[in-house]
Amino acid sequence: MSIMSLLVALFVVAISSYGVSAQLSANFYSTSCPTALSTIKTVTDAAVSQEARMGASLLRLHFHDCFVNGCDASVLLDDTGNFTGEKTAGPNNNSLRGFEVIDNIKTQLESACPGVVSCADILTVAARDGTVALNGPTWNVLLGRRDSTTASLSAANTNIPGPGLSLSALMDSFSNKGFNANELVALSGSHTIGQARCVTFRNRIYNDTNINSTFATSLQANCPTSGGNGNLAPLDPTPDAFDNAYFSNLQTQRGLLHSDQELFNGGSTDSLVNTYVSNSATFFTDFANAMVKMSNLSPLTGTNGQIRTNCRRVN
Ligand code: HEM
Ligand SMILES: *[C@@H]1O[C@H](CO)[C@@H](O)[C@H](O)[C@H]1NC(C)=O
Ligand SMILES: *[C@@H]1O[C@H](CO)[C@@H](O)[C@H](O)[C@H]1NC(C)=O
Ligand SMILES: *[C@@H]1O[C@H](CO)[C@@H](O)[C@H](O)[C@H]1NC(C)=O
Ligand SMILES: *[C@@H]1O[C@H](CO)[C@@H](O)[C@H](O)[C@H]1NC(C)=O
């Protein structure tokens, strides 16, 4: 290898090891749209104080964006006559919420700084602010993501894990996105807030054996063996508070989803669940770090993608 090609190779390694942080930055909008962060927070806080669950819905919306070809706002695109987006994918259909909150933020920011703030960044910051509004941990969001001009229904159907998965299938799903088992457990702690529909936990409350029978029976009243698919139950006993009750609930076999209880079912992740029960601060730190990592999955930067004017459609 010549000295020159060696230098070029070293340069390439140096650049790529910078990763996304070379392209995303904390102060991305500080001159182009100084009110961006405060606007997102104000609108998100108002939405969460009107309905606490909205904090959970925004967090989940961000997850379902990032696990499908990166955090590029692809999940926000509406279906049209000649475009099929991700909204009707199995994990999303009749389930994702919060689109109107993102629209409200976008409308305000298009008026303040037209064509500057991406839908992908709005969603990333709103997910953080929604978590904080429910007393969860905070984290620093890097900015500068751009919006996709495409979406993938098939990737949404395959890349987002479902509630029937086993521990090893959950580990595989997260490993495909670069997350280890500890990060799987920490991120699953997001189920400390929000609700799930009967269709997602029916099989668990009638057929699983690793469930407290009193708990299962109480849920069956509002989730019959057929019908009532959309009836809601809280994911943990304190669905409007971001706390560590999700994990103590797993210790007594009261996980709502089969996938939740898999994290505490005699396997390798039991010990981390125990740690998070005894040390809520460790959970908060691990969650925040894993959220930063999730938020940085494959962003479009530089001249890739676009800044959508309307988050629901390509410009
Ligand atoms: C570990 C694999 C995961 C599975 C199998 C899973 C599955 C589910 C399911 C089935 C629901 C109920 C949806 C409905 O009934 O409409 C749900 C809700 C929720 N999920 Fe997950 N999820 C996982 C990981 C995550 C992650 C990583 C996050 C965020 C970081 C997240 C955040 C949420 C939130 C906040 C809700 C409540 C949403 C609301 O009330 O609107 N989940 N999840
Ligand atoms: C879809 O149709 C609209 C109007 O009917 C058109 O403006 C747009 O370019 C079409 N998009 C694609 C991807 O063909
Ligand atoms: C999405 O939900 C609607 C309304 O319940 C339903 O009619 C449609 O078949 C569902 N789409 C898919 C792809 O499952
Ligand atoms: C319980 O499991 C059986 C066998 O797999 C299945 O046929 C049945 O539909 C399940 N019941 C519910 C309520 O999910
Ligand atoms: C299930 O929970 C009830 C209280 O809700 C408790 O009395 C019972 O002992 C629990 N069952 C098992 C098997 O732990």
Q: How many domains does the chain have?
A: 2
Residue 42 belongs to some domain of the structure: yes
Closest residue by CA, ligand 4 atom 1? 207
247 and 187 part of one domain: yes
At which of 160, 190, 220 does a domain end? 160
Residue 289 belongs to some domain of the structure: yes
31 and 151 part of one domain: yes
Alpha carbons within 13 angstroms on the beta-carbon side of residue 229 total 4
Residue 307 belongs to some domain of the structure: no
112 and 139 part of one domain: yes
At which of 130, 160, 190 does a domain end? 160
CATH number for the domain spanning 123: value is 1.10.520.10
Q: Which ligand is nearest to the CA of 58?
A: 1
pTM: 0.94
> What pLDDT score does 22 carry?
64
Residue 36 belongs to some domain of the structure: yes
Q: Is 64 an annotated catalytic residue?
A: yes
Read off the pLDDT of residues 125-150 as tens digits, 9 standing for 90 and up: 999 999 999 999 999 999 999 999 99
183 and 271 part of one domain: yes
Domain that holds residue 89: 25-160
Ligand 5 atom with the smallest distance to the CA of 212 is 1
Read off the pLDDT of residues 46-64 as tens digits, 9 standing for 90 and up: 999 999 999 999 999 999 9
Report, as ranges of residue numbers, the positions in the chain whose pLDDT lies below 50.
1, 3-4, 6-18
Sign of the CA dihedral with 287 first, then 101, 91, and 198 last: positive
142 and 210 part of one domain: no
177 and 144 part of one domain: no
